[in-house]
């Protein structure tokens, strides 16, 4: 089977085709805790290569999974068949309020290019310097400033992609396909969708309000509906000024309650870190400080400064107005995942599975209560940081790995409670291997059937990254690397 796929790929693909053990091993892992060894790696040189690779995958009924920079945290870019690495698709065509980019473009490079003309593309994942635009589209990524500007799905104007039949489609331009997608939207039960400001679970058909939004169904679809060849992104002018407040709190409950009030002042970002990150910052915090909020505004600076000083129930320890200082303190927040891993011995690191839920903001205090319950029941500890203004907290569980055979039970209990609160099981990292089996539970049977129809429409043979988002399998434990 491997040999016949290779025989078909090698003379057809202008780019590279690899099947040696070391390449297959390299592409078997990403930044998640999972591992799946693929059969073949294709590094397409041009659009024709992508189309041909999809057609060959169809012929051999083997999977084809597109990969960006491999920084995903739940194994979304891992699968058994062909892996398609889009690193040759690097391009950047700038216009006044938009930029057309190739999916292999690294976000850090795009940022530098935009900075030269005082512009920015708002979604800013903490890993921004390293992830690719294709991966950001695949996961519907976001970051601290998504509080004001939204996730990737709110900042894209057009997408060109290859579907599971090998057809090149541009949305929303292609009216036939756009109408079909709008038809799917009309079938959904909106009440089954989470009531949150950020969501990367399932297919975001809820965002398609008219045919002009049809491209949004591809965003967050984790390479299961199409392989993005290019995307037109909305860009904005850099704000003239920013102000950043660092506020310390004596309890996480105080911070989460205050966050609800602060959010009413419409900050551009509001982030949370617990003692683990705080311990890494070169500053003498009060010994009783349990956590920090980072609150940023990028307009009405003096008005918001006065307002925040009145409503903050914590202790404002720093106010920054200079660009360099603001960037330095944001780096501390961006490094939270690294600080967390650094503080946990390797044998105590529990794989990422419940690391990315979000709840409606008013339920934030309950989110921490749920976690405390889990910690008590399973004798785990946890580290927390994240995009608190969106109700999105990243938890890292700490436990003796050998004792954590209960990962699936923990995930099931946690997700049940999150869904009951109107939350999402993943706000930005995607469903991947960790959460796809919970998508039906998240959206209910009726919406899940619509998701299946969407998948069938774009990928009738189920070759595009199978078992992600739509699956009958349980993959949460099965593919954990050396666990």
Positions in the binding site for ligand FAD (CB under 6 A): 30-31, 65-73, 76-77, 86, 103, 125-127, 131-132, 134-139, 141-143, 222-223, 227-228, 337, 428-429, 465
If the CB atoms of residues 132 and 380 are measured against ligand FAD, the closer one turns out to be: 132
If the CB atoms of residues 110 and 227 are measured against ligand FAD, the closer one turns out to be: 227
Q: Residue 25 Cβ, how far from ligand FAD at the closest point, in Å?
A: 16
Please give the helix or strand (H or E) that residue 183 lies within, else none.
helix 175-187
Q: Residue 205 Cβ, how far from ligand FAD at the closest point, in Å?
A: 17
If the CB atoms of residues 182 and 227 are measured against ligand FAD, the closer one turns out to be: 227
Q: Residue 195 Cβ, how far from ligand FAD at the closest point, in Å?
A: 20
**How many other C-beta atoms are found inside a 10 Å radius of the C-beta of residue 232?**
18
If the CB atoms of residues 168 and 366 are measured against ligand FAD, the closer one turns out to be: 168
Cα separation of 179 and 208, whole Å?
A: 11
If the CB atoms of residues 295 and 308 are measured against ligand FAD, the closer one turns out to be: 295
- What is the gyration radius of the CA atoms in the chain, in angstroms? 22
If the CB atoms of residues 69 and 411 are measured against ligand FAD, the closer one turns out to be: 69
Q: Residue 81 Cβ, how far from ligand FAD at the closest point, in Å?
A: 13
CA 381 to chain centroid: 24
Please give the helix or strand (H or E) that residue 83 lies within, else none.
strand 82-85
Structure tokens at 434: 């960790």
**How many other C-beta atoms are found inside a 10 Å radius of the C-beta of residue 120?**
18
Bridge partners, 35 (sequence order): 29
Q: Residue 465 Cβ, how far from ligand FAD at the closest point, in Å?
A: 5
Q: Residue 339 Cβ, how far from ligand FAD at the closest point, in Å?
A: 10
Q: Residue 197 Cβ, how far from ligand FAD at the closest point, in Å?
A: 14
Q: Residue 308 Cβ, how far from ligand FAD at the closest point, in Å?
A: 24
Bridge partners, 318 (sequence order): 246
Q: Are 224 and 200 in contact (CB under 8 A)?
A: no
Q: What burial class does residue 238 get, using C-beta atoms within 10 Å of its C-beta: 0-12 exposed, 13-18 middle, 19+ buried?
A: middle
Q: Residue 286 Cβ, how far from ligand FAD at the closest point, in Å?
A: 28
Structure tokens at 164: 């599971």
**How many other C-beta atoms are found inside a 10 Å radius of the C-beta of residue 230?**
20
If the CB atoms of residues 16 and 254 are measured against ligand FAD, the closer one turns out to be: 16
Cα separation of 482 and 349, whole Å?
A: 12
If the CB atoms of residues 134 and 314 are measured against ligand FAD, the closer one turns out to be: 134
If the CB atoms of residues 161 and 297 are measured against ligand FAD, the closer one turns out to be: 161
If the CB atoms of residues 317 and 326 are measured against ligand FAD, the closer one turns out to be: 326
Q: Are 80 and 94 in contact (CB under 8 A)?
A: no
Q: Are 101 and 110 in contact (CB under 8 A)?
A: yes
Cα separation of 353 and 228, whole Å?
A: 26
Structure tokens at 442: 């998240």
CA atoms within 13 A on the CB side of 166: 12
What SS3 state is found at 226?
A: coil
Q: Residue 191 Cβ, how far from ligand FAD at the closest point, in Å?
A: 26
Which one, of 25, 83, 179, 39, lies nearest residue 465 by Cα? 83
Q: How many helices (H) and strands (E) does the chain have?
A: 16, 17
Q: Residue 151 Cβ, how far from ligand FAD at the closest point, in Å?
A: 8
Q: Are 33 and 477 in contact (CB under 8 A)?
A: no
Pairing of strands 381-387, 269-274: antiparallel
Bridge partners, 194 (sequence order): none
If the CB atoms of residues 50 and 308 are measured against ligand FAD, the closer one turns out to be: 50
């Amino acid at each position: 089977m491997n040999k016949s796929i290779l025989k078909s790929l090698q003379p057809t693909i202008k780019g590279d085709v690899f099947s040696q053990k070391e390449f297959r091993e390299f592409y078997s892992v990403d930044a998640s805790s999972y591992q799946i060894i693929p059969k073949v790696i294709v590094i397409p040189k041009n659009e024709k290569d992508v189309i041909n690779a999809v057609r060959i995958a169809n012929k051999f009924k083997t999977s084809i999974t597109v990969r960006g920079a491999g920084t995903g945290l739940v194994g979304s870019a891992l699968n058994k068949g062909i892996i398609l690495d889009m690193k040759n698709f690097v391009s950047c065509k700038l216009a006044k309020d938009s930029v057309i980019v190739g999916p292999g473009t690294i976000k850090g490079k795009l940022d530098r290019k935009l900075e030269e003309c005082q512009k920015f593309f708002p979604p800013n994942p903490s890993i921004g310097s390293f992830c690719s635009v294709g991966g950001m589209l695949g996961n519907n990524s976001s970051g601290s400033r998504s509080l004001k500007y939204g996730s990737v799905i709110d900042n894209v104007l057009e997408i060109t992609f290859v579907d599971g039949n090998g057809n090149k489609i541009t949305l929303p331009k292609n009216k036939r396909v756009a109408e079909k997608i709008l038809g799917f939207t009309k079938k959904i039960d909106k009440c089954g969708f989470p009531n949150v400001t950020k969501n990367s679970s399932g297919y975001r058909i809820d965002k398609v309000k008219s045919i002009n939004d049809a491209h949004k169904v591809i965003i967050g679809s984790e390479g299961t509906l199409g392989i993005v060849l290019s995307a037109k992104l909305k860009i904005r002018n850099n704000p003239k000024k920013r102000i950043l407040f660092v506020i310390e709190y004596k309890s996480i409950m105080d911070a989460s309650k205050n966050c609800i009030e602060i959010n009413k002042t419409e900050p551009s970002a509001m982030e949370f870190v617990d003692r683990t990150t705080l311990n890494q910052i070169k500053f003498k915090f009060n010994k009783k400080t349990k956590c920090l909020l980072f609150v940023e505004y990028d307009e009405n600076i003096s008005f918001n400064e006065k307002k925040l000083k009145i409503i903050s129930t914590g202790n404002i320890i720093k106010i920054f107005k200079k660009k360099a200082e603001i960037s330095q303190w944001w780096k501390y927040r961006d490094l939270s995942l690294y600080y967390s891993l650094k503080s946990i011995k390797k044998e105590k690191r529990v794989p990422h599975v419940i690391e990315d839920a979000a709840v409606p903001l008013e339920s934030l205090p309950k989110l921490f209560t749920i976690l405390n319950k889990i910690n008590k029941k399973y004798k785990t500890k946890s580290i927390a940081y994240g995009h608190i203004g969106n109700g999105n907290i990243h938890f890292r569980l700490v436990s003796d790995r050998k004792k954590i055979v209960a990962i699936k039970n923990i995930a099931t209990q946690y997700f049940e409670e999150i869904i009951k609160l109107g939350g999402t099981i993943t706000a930005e990292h995607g469903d991947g291997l960790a959460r796809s089996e919970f998508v039906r539970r998240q959206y209910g049977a009726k919406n899940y059937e619509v998701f299946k129809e969407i998948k069938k429409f774009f990928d009738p043979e189920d070759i595009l990254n199978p078992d992600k988002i739509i699956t009958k399998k349980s993959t949460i434990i099965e593919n954990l690397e050396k666990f």
